[in-house]
Structure formats: structure tokens, C-alpha cells
Structure 1
Amino acid sequence: VIVYFYPAALTPGCTKQACDFTDNLDLLAGEGYDVIGVSPDKPEKLAKFREKEDLRVTLVSDPSKAVMEEYGAFGEKKLYGKTVTGVIRSTIVVDEEGKVERALYNVKATGHVAKIIRDLGLAENV
């Protein structure tokens, strides 16, 4: 499973990231990966996001941020040079036994999915 954490649905960076995962979903699913996006947004906003952007990835709401905290995807981060507390854009790859295989934090919204595909050794299949 590839679980990615993002700050807010319907924002430019998060939209690019979600669309990028959707665009590569056939490749990832073909290699046995499910993709789940997690944000603190309410389910209603996530439904609107899926519909507006025609997203095919699973989106999950974590308003308490408990799951994000467990994965280290919520906490202090730099935003425009200031230290703030919030969602840390992160991607976690979990293996078949439920163990974290790879954890990437403070990732960029664009180009990140291509990096994951390369890191997983799937690039030759593109």
C-alpha cells in the first residue's frame, strides 16, 4: 500500500499530487499497490475533490490527525521560512506484512510520484 498524506483537498499542490497518483494508478495497481491519500479534510470535501478532479485513488479523512501522527506526517514543519505545526506532505510504502518499507517526508507535490515509481523499481515498466 502507498499511503500519502497531504494538507488540504482542492488546493493547487494537493490537486497536482492526487492527479499524478491517479494518472499512474494503472501502473501502480498492476504492480500490486493500492494508493490511499489521507488528509484532515471532512469526507464531504473529499467527495467533492474526487468528483471535481476525477480522482481514482482512495481518499481518507483523518480530522483528528491521529493516523498522521502515528506515521509521523503531522508536526512541526517549515512554511515560507516560518516553523508551523501542520500536515507534513509524506508518502509511506507499507509492505504485505504491514511493515513500513519506505517513508519519505517533506516531499514535493510535483514529480514525487515519478520518484516513488523509480524508487520501487517500476520505472522500466513505464
Structure 2
Amino acid sequence: MKAVAFRTLALAAAAAGALATPALADLAPGTKAPDFKAPAYLAGKPFTFDLAEARKKGPVVLYFFPSAYTKGCNLEAHLFSQAADDFKAQGATLIGVTAGKVDQLAVFSADTATCGGKFAVAADPGASIAKQYDAPLKVAGMKAPADLSARTSYVIAPDGKVVFAYDNLSADDHVNQTMAALKSWRAKNPKR
């Protein structure tokens, strides 16, 4: 009887996950990206991330993820960490932002299975930054389990305009999509 109950619960959880969809209205290319400051960690060390300051150095690749230490988010962070040097070579600042498990971000930022100290992650309690970016997590037909962000990635130019937005709950293509958009932007803006 316990096996049947467990199987039913597992199927219900899988169905709920399948229904999770990102926000339908990302910020469109050409839109001004909202500047923000947020508590962040790089290799376990705390600092305040300031988007306006980061943009002064070049383009910013901003990716929202639902929660630290979940299967998809761990994979996405690991993939971004593997590509971090390539983003840096393009002159970009890479930042991950989440509302989930913000108390674990210091460790998450240094963990070799996730960020590996290669890029910063910022806390977004209540998903207030995600909401400014039209990127809160939505669950079809249900109230979202908490204020979490969708898996949405942006490339933001130094002038603050969105160059590219990519919404996909699957974690495995955000790096490729943002890198292609960044390289395309860089080809048109070699000196910025």
C-alpha cells in the first residue's frame, strides 16, 4: 500500500513539475532593463551586486533560476561555470539571481558542483527582481509554490537595453543561447 501511495505522490509531483511554465512576457529586446542592487556571493564571499556598476564594465548576462541546490539549477550553474571564462573573454559580467534557498547562496557560489567560484549569484527574496524582469515562476492552473523566478536569461548591453531574452524551464541551453546572443552583439559592438 505504501508503494502505491508513494508512486501516486511521485506522479503528482512530476505532473506539477511538467505544468510549471515561465512567465509569458519577458522583457523584449530593446527594453530598458531595470537596474538593481542585491546581496550576492562570489566564491563564498559576500558583496553587493549593482547592475548599473556592472554595465559600466560591459554587457551583463543575467540569468534567473528558481532555487539553489535543485537538480536543474545545479546543472545550469555548473554549465555557466564551465563557460564563465568564455563570457569573460567577451567582456561580459555573468550573474545568477534566485529567490530560492537564499540562505545557501554563499556555499552554492563556491561549490565546485555548481558555480565553482567562477561567477556571482545574488539573492532575490520574494522574487522582487524577477518580477521587474517579468520572470516570476508560474505554475499552470496552480498557485506557485513560493515566490520563485522562472528560468529566464537576459543579455543586457552597457546602455541598459535588453539585447536578448530566453525563457525555458530546461536548464541545458541557456549558456548556448546567451553566448550566441552575446557574440552577435559583440560583433556589432566591438569596442563596447
Name the TM-score, length of structure 2 as normaliser: 0.56
Residues 4-48 of structure 1: CA distance to partner in whole angstroms, max 9, x if unpaired? 000111111101111111111111111111110000145540011
Are residues 37 and 83 of structure 1, via their aligned partners in 2, closer, same or farther at CA, if it must alter by over 3 Å?
A: same
Of residues 89, 100, 111, the one that matches 1:52 is 111
**Residue 71 (structure 1) aligns with:** 133
* In structure 1, distance between residues paired with 2:109 and 2:179: 23
Structure 2 residue aligned with 1:37 = 96
Q: Distance in 2 between matches of 1:118 and 1:11?
A: 26
Q: How many correspondences in the alignment?
A: 119
Greater C-alpha Rg? 2
Q: Which residue of the partner structure matches residue 93 of structure 1?
A: 155
- Taking the aligned partners of 1:120 and 1:51, their CA distance within structure 2 comes to 25
Which residue does 2:42 correspond to in 1? none
Gaps of 5+ in 2: 1-59, 185-192
Provide the TM-score with structure 1 as the length reference.
0.82
CA shift, 1:62, in A, is 0.4
Q: Percent of pairs identical after alignment?
A: 29
The whole-number CA distance in structure 2 between the counterparts of 1:64 and 1:87 is: 9
1:99: Cα distance to partner? 1.0
- Given that 2:97 and 2:121 are in contact with CA atoms closer than 8 Å, whether structure 1 keeps it comes out as yes
Structure 1 residue 77: Cα displacement: 3.6
2-side partners of 1:77 and 1:100: how far apart?
25
Residue in 2 that maps onto 1:2: 61
Give the whole-Å Cα distance in 2 for the aligned partners of 1:56 and 1:121. 20
CA separation in 2, counterparts of 1:83 and 1:119? Answer: 33
Deviation at 1:56, TM superposition (A): 1.2
Report the Cα distance in structure 2 between the residues aligned to 1:115 and 1:97, rounded to whole angstroms: 21
Is the 2:66–2:149 Cα contact (8 Å) retained in structure 1?
Answer: yes
**Which structure has greater strand proportion?**
1
CA distance in 1, matches of 2:102, 2:169: 24
- 2:91 aligned counterpart, secondary structure: coil
In structure 1, the gaps of 5 or more residues are none
Q: Secondary structure at the match of 2:153?
A: strand
Flag as ranges the 4+ runs of structure 1 deviating above 3 A.
41-44, 119-122
Provide the rounded CA distance (Å) in 1 between the counterparts of 2:107 and 2:84.
20
In structure 1, how many angstroms separate the alpha carbons of the residues matched to 2:165 and 2:95? Answer: 14
Of 82, 97, 105, which aligns to 1:23?
Answer: 82
